[in-house]
Structure 1
Amino acid sequence: MLNSLSDLHGYVDKSQLTQEFGGSLEYSHSQWIHHRTAIENFALTVKTTAQLLQRFGMELAETELPNDVQSTKDLLTAHTDKHNNLKDELKLALRQGSTLFTCIKDQAAKPENHKLNPDEMENQTTVERLLAQLDETENAFEQFWSTHHLKLEQCLQLRHFEQDFREVKVSLDTLMDSLKGLSDTGDCVARVEHLLKELKALEEKAQSTLKKAQLHAMHGDQLIQSNHYAVDSIRPKCVELRRVCDDFSNEAKKKSDVLSKALHIHMGIEKVNQWCESGIFLLASQAVDKCQSQEGAESALTDIEHFLESAEKNHVTELRNLHKQYEVVLSEDIKGNILKALKRLEDVQEMFEKRHVSLKRLSAKQTRPIQPVAPRPESSPKRPTQKNPTRTSGGQQPLARKLSDNSNSNKQPSESDPNNKKKNIRKTKGGIKVLLLSLHH
């Protein structure tokens, strides 16, 4: 039992006793209660905040990534909003702890040369520990959120990439179908020219889609280079886009090449047919009776030679070379048309060669001088006397012989018989016309 404070001082140092007991220790019970209550509230806040962050972290970890753009956007917005709310809670808790720590520290530092008593030191240490715990929780949560947020953003990038890929792929497939549906075998020059125009229009129309596909593939490359988590899904799509673009370009080039060659072929066929028709018309327009004179024969021969020369000038015979060069890529129908045109060309050329040879011979006979022949006696038994003999010029007899030579008859009618002359002329002329008509048809 202690009878006085002096007895208490014998057991307890005055520095450990408050002023009520004659000591020097500064102590305010109300202040101690206020600080202790604030610390307990802050500790509860730290615990509650940590639990909220933990639950939210578990929720993020268990979240399945959506398969479409809109759902991914909604999820990213929801998680971001929740993260921002928790971030505000963390800031509020940190502000509360910092304020409490400042109050404790400033309250203890008011008197000069004041040293913190054990309670104040314990309160300060407790607040510092809670603040450090809250800071660690925040750092861990921010690291986890950063990873999760990046994954959500990459997921949204992936969904956008996949959506754009599907749209571009549909457009490319439509272009490929249109290109494959475009025929590369026209039956005439006009048709092939129309097909070439359609092909050119389709290529121009496809440029924007092809450019978009190439840009989208480049965007995929950028995603891959940024260490996207879905590299295995992005890379095949980039390869597919580039493959389809190359297929379209190669197919368009192939069709353009085939159509261009077909155009050259059809133009060659048309040129041959026009030349043959002009030749047939020329042959038919050369009347045999006009070639009886030297001037007429030479004029007809000149026309024939000029027309034969026009075949080389107009590259009519080029069709044979085109047939050999393009035979591999030509269709059977075009090959058949080429062979018909070449056969017709050969027939007409053969006709011109025969006419050329005939006119050459006829012109040569016309220029031969007439040899005087002594008249035979009228009493000669070998040649009966003719009444009203037909007058024939010296140049008409060779012409009759030439026309009779060109006929298919083996008989040699008398040169002096005018009836036989006319028959031979009509027969030869008619035979040429029949041959010309058969070739024309």
Structure 2
Amino acid sequence: MRGATCNTAKPILKVLQEHFASSVHAVYVIKPDNFWQKQRFSLGSHKYKFETSMISLEALPKIIDTTQLTGDLEGTLHYDHAQWIDMRLALEDFVWQAADLLDRLDDLQEDLSRNDFADDVIGAKRAIDLHNEMKKKITKAPVEEIDLIGQRLLQRLSGDSNSGYDSGYSGRDSEASSVVSNPDLLASVPQILQNVEAVRSSQQHLKTLWQHKKVKLDQCFQLRLFEQDCEKMFDWICHNRDVFLMNYVEIGHSYQVAKELQEEHNHFTMSSMNVYVNIDRILTVASRLIESNHYAAQHIRGVATRLDRTWKQFAAGLDERTAVLALSVLFHHKAEEYVENVSSWNQACENMTIPSEIMVLEAAIHQHQNLYESMCQAYTEVYNSYQALLNGLDIMIQVCHCFPTTPNARDCIFNNNV
């Protein structure tokens, strides 16, 4: 209180009472030099929770070691208040920047933690592009700047302005021990190191999360491509199956019509077999995705199984109609051939001239027997082809009934979708 008034001291005591009462145990007030100031000064110590004492400057070293007293109190403790303020401002600015950067990194982490997978190829591609932009944000985060600011603060606290830059902080113990003997500034060293370490760890964690989600997004893109290809194949099969079933049991009423139907069906079958190349490729892709531990492996397996089963049902119908049309062509060919031979057979039977010579008669009998056998053989062939055609029609109709009701292509894919 030397050279000061009571109005100077009391606000300080009030602040200590209001904000630091639990931390302050005793307050020593240096007595004023002026006699009249001594008389006018009253502490009102009963107002405070801590002990307050008036003491002379000469008696102060008896209570506080001179190494803990500054020069203006006739001690040896080196303390530059302007320097302390400058360091506190630099420290607070560093802490604020580090906290702000950590908040931004936390926001990025929250974005990376979302499982916002797109439902189509375009959306999946857009998500990959946005994810690549996210990587730029992670990489460009000013982690190195925060690291450099923290290192410079440590250098200033240690009093070594020329020390090298060590981003790894391998010598933390030696750095802390060389900090000027100011408890407040000494306590800030772990805080600086903690903030720098937190920023670096957060960025590294983000890179790990980014890579993990990149794998997921790539798998999502592959999944949507797979589903898109499957949808096209389901659409093709469903459409062509409907067209196929329109004349599925039509086998022709003559050899010529049956032959035309057979040729038309063969052309349709060959076109369908060309499509199977795409289906086989899709099934191969499905197997590769499943083997690569895709996150939707079960869904992919289910869609691939449905596609394979749908194709096999369609192909079975093609095969059965191929066989039935072949039987129809054979039957009509045999039947028409039989009908064409009836007149010649009838004419041969009506010729009842009986030869008088034995040799000629035996030859005629043998010839007539051959005619009968050829007639029976032709009839047998017609009957057998007829029976085969009936059996084939029965099997074909059964296959026809096995065809499921025409499903929606997307229903086939997105049933139990992921």
- Give the TM-score band, short-chain normalised: 0.5 to 0.7
> Structure 1 pair 34/223, CA: closer, same or farther in 2 (3 Å)?
farther
Which of residues 222, 228, 235 in structure 2 aligns to 1:163? 228
Within the alignment, does 1:39 sit opposite 2:39 as a pair? no
Q: CA separation in 2, counterparts of 1:168 and 1:103?
A: 68
Cα deviation, 1:46-93, whole Å, max 9, x if unaligned, reads 111121223344455567544332233323423441342143115344
> Structure 1 pair 265/214, CA: closer, same or farther in 2 (3 Å)?
same
Q: Which runs of structure 2 are paired with 1:38-437 in the superposition (5 Å)? A: 38-59=90-111, 64-97=116-149, 99-100=151-152, 103-104=155-156, 108=160, 115-119=178-182, 122=187, 124-183=189-248, 184-231=250-297, 233-282=299-348, 286=351, 304-305=368-369, 307-308=371-372, 310-311=374-375, 317-330=380-393
Indicate conservation of the 8 Å contact 1:154/1:228, yes or no: yes
What amino acid is the match of 1:246? K
Indicate conservation of the 8 Å contact 1:42/1:97, yes or no: yes
Partner residue of 2:66? Answer: 12
- Consecutive unaligned residues of structure 2, counting only runs of 5 or more, are 1-55, 164-173, 395-418
Partner residue of 1:422? Answer: none
Partner residue of 2:24? Answer: none
Residue 205 of structure 1: CA displacement?
Answer: 1.1
> Structure 1 pair 84/328, CA: closer, same or farther in 2 (3 Å)?
same
Indicate conservation of the 8 Å contact 1:224/1:231, yes or no: yes
Q: Which moved more, 1:159-168 or 1:213-222?
A: 213-222
Partner residue of 2:38? Answer: none
Q: CA separation in 1, counterparts of 2:159 and 2:246?
A: 90
Residue 257 of structure 1: CA displacement?
Answer: 1.8
> Structure 1 pair 320/110, CA: closer, same or farther in 2 (3 Å)?
closer
What amino acid is the match of 1:262? S
Q: CA separation in 2, counterparts of 1:195 and 1:325?
A: 18
Give me the identity figure in percent.
Answer: 19
Local SS of the residue matching 1:108:
coil
Residue 126 of structure 1: CA displacement?
Answer: 3.4
> Structure 1 pair 236/63, CA: closer, same or farther in 2 (3 Å)?
closer
Indicate conservation of the 8 Å contact 1:268/1:318, yes or no: yes
Q: Tell me the TM-score normalised to structure 1 length.
A: 0.57
Q: Which has the larger radius of gyration?
A: 1
Local SS of the residue matching 2:240:
helix
> Structure 1 pair 258/53, CA: closer, same or farther in 2 (3 Å)?
same
What amino acid is the match of 1:317? T
Local SS of the residue matching 2:66:
coil
Q: Which gives a bigger RCO, structure 1 or 2 (Cα 8 Å, sep 6+)?
A: 2
> Structure 1 pair 62/234, CA: closer, same or farther in 2 (3 Å)?
same
Indicate conservation of the 8 Å contact 2:98/2:199, yes or no: yes
Q: CA separation in 2, counterparts of 1:325 and 1:149?
A: 60
Q: CA separation in 1, counterparts of 2:206 and 2:134?
A: 13
- Consecutive unaligned residues of structure 1, counting only runs of 5 or more, are 332-441
What amino acid is the match of 1:12? T
Count of matched residue pairs:
318
Cα deviation, 1:342-398, whole Å, max 9, x if unaligned, reads xxxxxxxxxxxxxxxxxxxxxxxxxxxxxxxxxxxxxxxxxxxxxxxxxxxxxxxxx
Q: CA separation in 2, counterparts of 1:109 and 1:24?
A: 22
Local SS of the residue matching 1:186:
coil
Q: CA separation in 2, counterparts of 1:303 and 1:254?
A: 42
Partner residue of 2:8? Answer: none
Indicate conservation of the 8 Å contact 1:279/1:307, yes or no: yes
> Structure 1 pair 50/11, CA: closer, same or farther in 2 (3 Å)?
closer
Q: CA separation in 2, counterparts of 1:274 and 1:292?
A: 28
Q: CA separation in 2, counterparts of 1:325 and 1:82?
A: 69
Q: CA separation in 2, counterparts of 1:69 and 1:326?
A: 49
Residue 104 of structure 1: CA displacement?
Answer: 4.3
Local SS of the residue matching 2:141:
helix
Q: CA separation in 2, counterparts of 1:171 and 1:77?
A: 32
Q: Tell me the TM-score normalised to structure 2 length.
A: 0.60
Q: CA separation in 2, counterparts of 1:194 and 1:166?
A: 33
> Structure 1 pair 275/151, CA: closer, same or farther in 2 (3 Å)?
same
Q: CA separation in 2, counterparts of 1:182 and 1:265?
A: 19
